[in-house]
Amino acid sequence: MKKITVIGTGYVGLVSGAGISDFGHSVTCVDIDESKISSLENGKIPIYEQGLESLVKRNVEAKRLFFSSNVAAEVEKADVVFIAVGTPQDNNGTADISAVLKASETIGSSLNGYKVICTKSTVPIGTGRKVIEAIKNNAGSSAMFDYVSNPEFLREGAAVQDFTHPDRVVIGAETQKAFEFMKDVYHPLYINETPIIHTNIETAEMIKYASNAFLALKISYINEIANFCEEVNADVFHVAKAMGLDGRISPKFLHPGPGYGGSCFPKDTNALASQAESAGVPLKTIQGAIDANTNQKSRMVDKLRILLDDSFNGKRIAVLGLSFKPETDDVRESSSISMISALLNESATVCAYDPVSNDNMSSFFSKVSYQNSVYDAVKDANAAVVMTDWNEFRSMDIPRIKSLMKTAVILDTRNILNITELDENGIVYDNVGRKPRAK
């Protein structure tokens, strides 16, 4: 058993810390935000993530998981220190690593013996060298540590499952001692023969960015194919299904929609493209995906505008789904933000409903009327737009929806509603890449 300190109690830090404690290690998650630590100590989880609350509770009760706001003290106690602080996008599209470097300085000044310092935060290629320098500058030339890049591959909504049952573990370590330390941290995965990829630091950093950018590229690709399908009387549902049956392609991320969002894909694609541009090797495919994603969000607004005779003015619109994907309350870069902004800017009244994200979206839009159910949201609406593919939206009572709406108009940006049922109930609708019902 190793003593682990995780700096940062956000999405990555909390999931990783709880997951590592479940492997049998003693883990302390630390944060300079004392109110967040106090909430965690009182059993309050700051994010909505399936299985996380029970994972935290189980390991706190087993006395393997602890919380503290004293970063320096917990670094001193640790064998391994994980950096899992935020790296938000700055004004020029690159990742802001100031919090990573600040944590590194604290680590350096708190070194009291050999430790492995490991970055979990998503950082630009080359950040590891800066972390090493920051630690040395604050610890002195006699500092004993190894540095490791250990990127996370956690899907919001399935993060606990992804951490405990990963496709692979990437360890960017340049000494065998550090690699063996990390193998011990992930011992349950190692004995279960989870692939553990040993690389140098820069390669590990690149793997994270390259993986996320590829998935974003795949989403943008199928979205553009869907848009083309609409012009040539093809059905993207069947196109994507047939493509996915090809083992070289796979069906994952071949689901057209309103554009990707969340805390990772927009930030990571921009950061990778910006860094590559600075290095003189522009990534034209990734820039294309970024541009296509921006266009896709605008296209959804245009689709709704056409359904409403080219005007939102004075119309009441129900927005169903606010999070960027189901099973999370994260609304960062959600396509719903673009949709609601356009509606409010053109003098529409917006009623919205999401199973878990109403409060988070209210920090963006105070003038939206947030409702407690789908049926409350669509009452007297001129149109409804499905923005997130929550399961409860798949099973909506369409006749009831029609009876509640002022005009039966639905834009299904996630292609989760049954076209036949919409037709049978006389709903005027549109979707993404499938044939709409004519008005």
Domain check: are 275 and 153 in the same one? no
Q: How many CA atoms lie within 13 A of 195 on its CB side?
A: 5
pLDDT at 76: 94
Query: How far is residue 122's CA from residue 151's CA, in Å, rounded to a whole number?
Result: 6
The 10s digit of each residue's pLDDT in 246-285 is 999 999 999 999 999 998 999 999 999 999 999 999 999 9
> Does residue 189 share a domain with residue 304?
no
Q: Which portions of the chain are predicted below pLDDT 50?
A: none
How many C-beta atoms lie closer than 10 Å to residue 70's C-beta?
A: 14
Q: What is the pLDDT of residue 104?
A: 96
Alpha-carbon 275 to chain mean position: 21
With both helix axes pointing from N to C terminus, report the angle between 236-244 and 201-232 in degrees, rounded to the nearest 10. Answer: 140
Shared domain check, 432 and 366: yes
Cα 59–63–68 angle (5° rounding)?
Answer: 90
Last residue of a domain, one of 171, 199, 227: 199
Yes or no: say if 335 and 299 are a contact pair by the CB < 8 Å rule: no
The last residue of one of the domains, among 179, 199, 219, is: 199
pLDDT averaged over every residue in the chain = 95
pTM above 0.75, yes or no: yes
pLDDT recorded at residue 438 = 61
Domain encompassing residue 129: 3-199
* Strand residue runs (E) in 154-219: 169-173, 196-199
Assess whether 275 and 222 both reside in one domain.
Answer: yes
55 and 191 share a domain? yes
Same domain, yes or no: 88 and 215:
no
Strands 145-149 and 80-83: unpaired
> Across the strands, what pairs with 28?
5, 66
Q: What pLDDT was estimated at residue 178?
A: 96
Report the distance separating Cα 181 and Cα 113, nearest Å: 15
Count of the separate structural domains present in the chain: 2
Q: Are 246 and 132 in a shared domain?
A: no
Q: Are residues 148 and 221 in the same domain?
A: no
- Give residue-wise pLDDT tens across range 105-161: 999 999 999 999 999 999 999 999 999 999 999 997 778 999 999 999 999 989 999
User: How far is 279 from 287, CA to CA, in rounded Å?
Assistant: 15
| Confidence at residue 439, expressed as pLDDT on a 0 to 100 scale | 60
Same domain, 276 and 163: no
At which of 147, 177, 199 does a domain end? 199
Residue pair 332/293 in contact (Cβ under 8 Å)? The answer is: no
In which residue are the tokens 């390669």 written?
203
Return the pLDDT at 420: 94
**Catalytic site residue from 29, 118, 229, 264:** 264
Q: Are residues 428 and 324 in the same domain?
A: yes
| Residues across the chain | 439
CA pair distance 287, 371, nearest whole angstrom? 37
Active site residue 229: no
Residues 254 and 178 grouped into a single domain: no
What's 44's domain CATH number? 3.40.50.720
Sole residue written with tokens 């140098």: 200
Residues 55 and 166 in one domain: yes
CB contact set of 216 (below 8 Å; sequence gap of 6+): 260, 265, 268, 269, 286, 289, 290, 293
